[in-house]
Amino acid sequence: MTLGLESVDYFIFLIYFVIVAVYGYWVYTHKGKQTADSKDFFLAEGSLTWWAIGASIIASNISAEQFIGMSGQAFQLGLAISVYELVGGFSLIIIAVYFLPMYIKNKIYTMPQFLQKRYDGRLATIMAVFWLLLYILVNLTSIIYLGALSLEKMTGFGFMACAVFLTVFAVFITLGGMKVIGYTDVIQVVCLVVGGLATTYLALDLLSDRVGTGAGIFEGLGLIREKADHHLHMIFSKGQYQVHDGKGGFTDAYTQLPGLMMFVIGGQWIVNFNYFGCNQYITQRALGADLNTARNGLLFASFLKILMPLIVVLPGLAAYVLFQENAEPAIVRGITEGGIVKPDNSYPVLLNLLPVGLKGLAFAALTAAIVASLAGKANSIATIYMLDIHRKFFNTNLTEKQTVWRGRIAIVVSFLIALVISPFLKNFGQGFEYIQEYTGFISPGILAIFLLGFFWRKATSNGALAAALLSIPLSAYLKFNATDIPFLNRMGLVFWACVALQVVISLAESKGHDSPKAFAVEASWFRVSRSFLIGAAVITGLVIVVFSVFY
């Protein structure tokens, strides 16, 4: 296994970098408005096409966490980890039909703005501050950290050099505003898909060469089914399957993906509906477009989402078989640290096995995924800060030009904070594997207040505030006092508790009357075009087929 890149690899990466930089500058000077307009800068109002919206959503969603973490979980759990991508793809269709009209028809541009209009300023401010802290201290910081670690393993450069490179690259893209992010994300998605598929091809071909007869990738797929059939099931039952825990021991796979119960109780739905429907840096791409364009963008994102298992799951499965068969010494050495099996090392190890040229393409793909995610999150940080905090509490009379420039300052400051904090995440050790879990402490409460705010006219502000405040302490209590409940099931229980609390308080307050701030809803908002229905049916059918074949 060769650590580092060759001259050809750097040349391929340089081509990618120049294309993104030149195209980004062209978009900045030729697309959208040329005047300083906050809606144009933060939302690219009217500038993004459906394909740019869809590509940008996936580019913001897929980062080092997916490439490294999900591939590692495929090594650990198998095909079942694809449930996040498949359910995510289906969730995007539901969000396009039912969530988007509520935002666009009511002229909602930020998530706190929804809370302000539907409930009150208390909840909007509390959640705006929370989202800022979450996006900077967890999301932005963790992407820089994981991205820099990935590039460090791949290139041989130091961690801080890689972190600074990623940060500067992302700042360059982000300062151009949402229209630059949206259109350059199309290039980023092409790079991550092509580079990701190249890695998948190499992994399956390597598996065929080392374990089979060298007949190629289809033999590699057959070898996965032959040598790791237990890794090809979507649904686990309790006690069915023990997997490496990354700490030197084993754990029940059911604790991470609790079978059908994660659908019945709702944990899997909560993760995806909250992430794609109530998350500023995801929905922001669609909020500046008209409803039909935004819906088609989410449909395109849904298609790309269900494509992701080919890119991030298959390499992990191939690495697992190579490891189990002891067929590739570099795989065994790279995944094992001090006698402990580290599933998250599987993707970086595969990248270092790529031949010259393909390694440069994979380097560009990984960088594209990281930079696109950083840019999307940083723009959303600036959007929430400027529109929901700065212009409300510090200066209500800012001009459009001042708002844009202060937004750019907020972007730079947020990146600097995340860059400074990122090296300290090494001290968390294995704890950072659970970032998604701890972020999920608030997800049930957020989704409850959004859903009831959308579709229940009696939902009141005090009920919503109580539900939001209940989510974290109840999640913490169950985590430490009901340790046998899997994470996703715990999220479901907390969600229904938050819904019940909000309903009880709202009924007690409303006394049979609608909330005075309830949104007007028209049935016509939820009608979709025939082409959308056909696309949604095809995607839904593909998801059903995968679950049926690999149940």
pLDDT-above-70 percentage for the chain: 93
> CB of 232 within 8 A of CB of 78?
yes
Mind listing the pLDDT tens digit for each residue in 494-529?
Answer: 999 999 999 999 999 877 677 777 777 888 888 999
pTM: 0.87
pLDDT at 58: 83
Residue 95 lies in a domain: yes
CATH code at position 253 = 1.20.1730.10
User: How many structural domains are present in the chain?
Assistant: 1
In angstroms, the CA 368 to CA 381 distance is 20
Mean pLDDT of 220-232: 89
Mind listing the pLDDT tens digit for each residue in 138-186?
Answer: 888 888 888 887 788 777 788 899 999 999 988 888 877 777 777 777 7
Residue 432: pLDDT over 50: no
In angstroms, the CA 81 to CA 73 distance is 7
Residue 498 lies in a domain: no
Residue 430: pLDDT over 60: no
Q: Give the range of the structural domain holding residue 185, as residue numbers without chain letter.
A: 7-23+50-429+529-550
Residue 537: both structure tokens together: 């049916």
Residue 468 lies in a domain: no
User: Which stretch of 38-52, 205-219, 225-239, 267-281 has the lowest confidence by average pLDDT?
Assistant: 38-52
Mind listing the pLDDT tens digit for each residue in 102-149?
Answer: 888 888 888 888 898 889 888 888 888 888 888 888 888 888 888 887
In angstroms, the CA 21 to CA 172 distance is 8
Residue 484 lies in a domain: no
Among all chains, which residue has been given the structure tokens 């259109």? 183
pLDDT band at residue 412 using 50, 70 and 90 as cut-offs: very high
Residue 126 lies in a domain: yes
Three-class DSSP category at 443: helix
Nearest to 129 by CA among 319, 475, 392: 392
Question: Please, is 254 exposed, middle or buried when counting C-beta atoms within 10 Å of its C-beta (0-12, 13-18, 19+)?
Answer: buried
Mind listing the pLDDT tens digit for each residue in 258-311?
Answer: 888 888 888 889 989 998 888 877 777 777 778 899 899 999 999 999 988 888
Residue 34 lies in a domain: no
pLDDT band at residue 37 using 50, 70 and 90 as cut-offs: low
pLDDT at 496: 95
Question: Please, is 16 exposed, middle or buried when counting C-beta atoms within 10 Å of its C-beta (0-12, 13-18, 19+)?
Answer: buried
Residue 513 lies in a domain: no
- Cα 522 to chain center, whole Å? 31
Residue 497 lies in a domain: no
- Mean residue pLDDT of the chain comes to 83
For residue 57, what are the CA distances in angstroms to 197, 286, 305, 309, 396?
Answer: 19, 9, 10, 17, 31
> CB of 285 within 8 A of CB of 53?
yes
Identify the residue with better confidence: 447 or 145.
447
> CB of 202 within 8 A of CB of 354?
yes
Nearest to 365 by CA among 350, 381, 380: 350
Mind listing the pLDDT tens digit for each residue in 354-388?
Answer: 788 888 887 887 888 788 888 888 888 888 888 88
